[in-house]
Amino acid sequence: MSTYTVTGMTCGHCVSSVKEEVGEVPGVTGVEVDLGSGRVDVSGDSLDDAAIRAAIEEAGYQVAG
């Protein structure tokens, strides 16, 4: 599992956008998003960090750190 802190999410639609984009990355089997903390937990096999970060940015948000 990989965990990311995402900034800019403010509502349920934001959560849905991130889940949808990250869920399309090859190897991802699950995405859990905590709106309050901005925490995004991604599970799967052979996760590609760069692809997950790109998917978050594609959804319109930034990965902190």
Residue 9's Cβ-side half-sphere holds a number of Cα atoms within 13 Å equal to: 27
Q: What does the pLDDT read at residue 65?
A: 74
Distances (CA, A) of 46 to 2, 7, 25, 61: 11, 25, 11, 23
Read off the pLDDT of residues 37-53 as tens digits, 9 standing for 90 and up.
999 999 999 999 999 99
pTM of the predicted protein model: 0.93
Beta bridge partners of 32: 41
